[in-house]
Amino acid sequence: MTTTLNQKDILKRGAIWAFILVELAFFAIVGDAMSVSSKAFLSVDNMLLLLKQSAPIGIIALGMTIVMINGNIDLSVGATFALAAVVLLDSMTWPFMQALGDWAIPLAWGFALLTGVVLGAINGLIVWKTGVDAFIVTLASMLGFRGLVFMYNGEQPTSHLNWTLVDFAEAQFLGLHTATWFLLGAALILWLLMTKTVHGRNAYAIGNNREAAVNAGIRVGPHFVLNFMLIGFLAALSAVVFYSESGSVNPNDGMLYELWAITAVVLGGTKLAGGYGSIISTLGGVIAIQLLRKGLGHIGADTQTVNLVIGLILIGVLILDRQLNRKGQEELKI
């Protein structure tokens, strides 16, 4: 960040990483003492796997951060994710694509990513031109996009395994899995976008004080559309990364992903009202959730407790945030 940080900011931005450290310490020490598995929690392999598993939701959460900083929200990412996956796998079975051999892979990726961008643009344009709240627009598109998924192949799964692709997805470069590289790469690029570019800074300004931004001559609509296109692209990227390996998509895949992504973003401290938040903190939020999942499993807790704990932590964060931002006694009691 370029802005000088004050103490409260440092506290806020540091909180998610401190939380991750606490999780690590807890699961390493307490966990290993009562672990049902003989493997150490803090092993390098385990951590690498954790990063890989964070990738699908993580990449979407990065996009959600941008949209939320901009003052909007996107509930349709799960459906976008599924549709991009269908396009990815199905397109590789088209006759002309099969004739291309392995060259079909980048083309299929391109089709899938384009799908995401187009769906995002549809959301963005509707939000811009109709002035209907993004929450409602994307709630509706969540249904509509899911309809498109079913249109493709009914309730049947769409499958296509391409071994070249699977090898690529399962590869490790410098120890990190392909998916992790995509997560980190996307995070880096988006971080640069949000902190270094005019578009990023304007997105903050719009979310922070829309009226001021409008008065300063910033064109709000195109920024909205661009950010929705970005989250659409990222939802598709997430699908591309995930399904390259798994090779089969069910029409219900990606359901509730929007809610998991929002949870990670909020844990990372991004404000729902917009104008405040950071890509890096969202990465922290994503890792914290995955750590919790794996850690609870590691100490033998039922996997179901994970949901309970995540939910309560989310509410706890909200209460904490409110206490931190409390005004004095003089406050109007409304």
Partner 1 sequence: MAQLNKTEIGAFLAKQGILIAFAAFMIGFALANQRFIELDNVFGVIRSSAILGVMALGVTFVVIGGNLDLSVGSMMSFSTIVVLDLHDKLGPGLAILAMFALTLALGAFIGFLVGYLKLNSLIVTLGMLSAIHGLTLTWSGGKNMDIADKSGTWFSVFGQERVMGIPVPILIFALLAVALSLLLSKTPFGRKVYAVGGNGQAATFSGIPRARVVFLTYIVSAFCVATAGLLQASRSLGSQNTVGQGMELEVLAAVILGGASLMGGAGTVFKTVIGVLILGFIQNGLLLVGLDFYVQYIVTWIIIILAVWLDVAAKRGRLWSPIA
Partner 2 sequence: MTDQTPVLRLEGIVKTFPGVRALDGVAFSVLPGEVHALMGENGAGKSTLMKVLGGIHAPDEGQIFIAEEPTVMTSPMQAKAKGVVFIHQELSLADELSVAENIFLGELPLKGLGRVDWPKLYADTDAILKTLNVGFDARTRVGDLSIANQQMVEIGRALTVDPRAVIFDEPTASLTDAEKVVLFDVIADLQSRGVGIVYISHRMEEIFKITDRISVLRDGQYRGTLNTAETDEDEVTQLMIGRSLDLSRNESHHEMGDVALEVRGLGCGALYQDVSFSVRRGEVLGFYGLVGAGRTEIAETIFGLRTPSAGQILLNGEEVRIASPIDALGHGISLVPEDRKSQGLVLGMNCRDNMTLPQVDDLTAGPFVSDGAEIAIFDQYRDKLDIRTPGWRQIVGNLSGGNQQKIVIGKWLSMRPEVLIVDEPTRGIDVGSKSEIHNLIRELAAQGFAVIVISSEMPEVLHVSDRIVAMFSGRVMREFTADEVTEDNLIQAISGITDDKVA
Residues forming contacts to partner 1 in the complex (CB under 8 A) are 75, 126, 128-133, 135-137, 139-151, 154, 214, 219-221, 224, 255-256, 259, 262-263, 266, 272, 302-315, 318-319, 322, 333-334
CB of 227 to partner 1, least distance (A): 14
* Segment near partner 2 (CB under 8 A); pick from 173-181, 259-267, 314-322, 326-334: 326-334
Give CA 96 to chain center in angstroms: 33
Q: What are phi and psi of 328, to 5 degrees?
A: -70, -175
Give CA 246 to chain center in angstroms: 19
| Contact call for residue 220 and partner 2 (CB under 8 A) | no
CB of 258 to partner 1, least distance (A): 9
Q: Which is nearer to partner 1, 179 or 292 (CB)?
A: 292
| Contact call for residue 209 and partner 2 (CB under 8 A) | yes
| Number of other CB atoms surrounding residue 4 within 10 Å | 6
Closest-CA residue to 25 (of 291, 310, 317, 284): 291
| Contact call for residue 325 and partner 2 (CB under 8 A) | no
- Return the residues of window 280-299 that contact partner 2 according to CB under 8 A: none
Options 50, 199, 301, 321; binder of partner 2; rule CB under 8 A: 199
**Is the distance from CB of 194 to CB of 2 less than 8 angstroms?**
no
**Is the distance from CB of 124 to CB of 118 less than 8 angstroms?**
no
Options 6, 38, 323, 325; binder of partner 2; rule CB under 8 A: 6
Two structure tokens written together for 72: 């909007």
What 8-state DSSP symbol labels residue 103?
G
**Is the distance from CB of 116 to CB of 84 less than 8 angstroms?**
yes
What 8-state DSSP symbol labels residue 275?
S
**Is the distance from CB of 207 to CB of 52 less than 8 angstroms?**
no
| Contact call for residue 329 and partner 2 (CB under 8 A) | yes
Q: How far is CA 311 from CA 16, 17, 68, 288, in A?
A: 16, 19, 20, 13
Q: Indicate which of partner 2, partner 1, none lies near residue 34 (CB less than 5 to 8 Å, by partner kind).
A: none
Q: Indicate which of partner 2, partner 1, none lies near residue 4 (CB less than 5 to 8 Å, by partner kind).
A: partner 2
Please state, in angstroms and rounded to a whole number, the distance separating the CA atoms of residues 175 and 197. 31
Q: What are phi and psi of 196, to 5 degrees?
A: -110, -20
Burial class (CB in 10 A: 0-12, 13-18, 19+), 114: middle
Options 83, 149, 213, 237; binder of partner 2; rule CB under 8 A: 213
Options 9, 32, 245, 321; binder of partner 2; rule CB under 8 A: 9
| Contact call for residue 256 and partner 2 (CB under 8 A) | no
Q: Indicate which of partner 1, partner 2, none lies near residue 309 (CB less than 5 to 8 Å, by partner kind).
A: partner 1
* Segment near partner 2 (CB under 8 A); pick from 112-120, 133-141, 314-322, 325-333: 325-333
Q: Indicate which of partner 2, partner 1, none lies near residue 275 (CB less than 5 to 8 Å, by partner kind).
A: partner 2
Closest-CA residue to 24 (of 240, 259, 287): 287
Q: Indicate which of partner 1, partner 2, none lies near residue 143 (CB less than 5 to 8 Å, by partner kind).
A: partner 1
Q: Which is nearer to partner 2, 160 or 201 (CB)?
A: 201
Please state, in angstroms and rounded to a whole number, the distance separating the CA atoms of residues 212 and 246. 47
Q: Which is nearer to partner 2, 34 or 333 (CB)?
A: 333
Q: Which is nearer to partner 2, 8 or 39 (CB)?
A: 8
Closest-CA residue to 220 (of 2, 212, 76): 212
CB of 146 to partner 1, least distance (A): 5
Please state, in angstroms and rounded to a whole number, the distance separating the CA atoms of residues 190 and 73. 17
Q: Which residues bind partner 2 (CB under 8 A)?
A: 2-6, 9, 196-199, 201-202, 204-205, 208-209, 211-213, 215-218, 275-276, 328-334
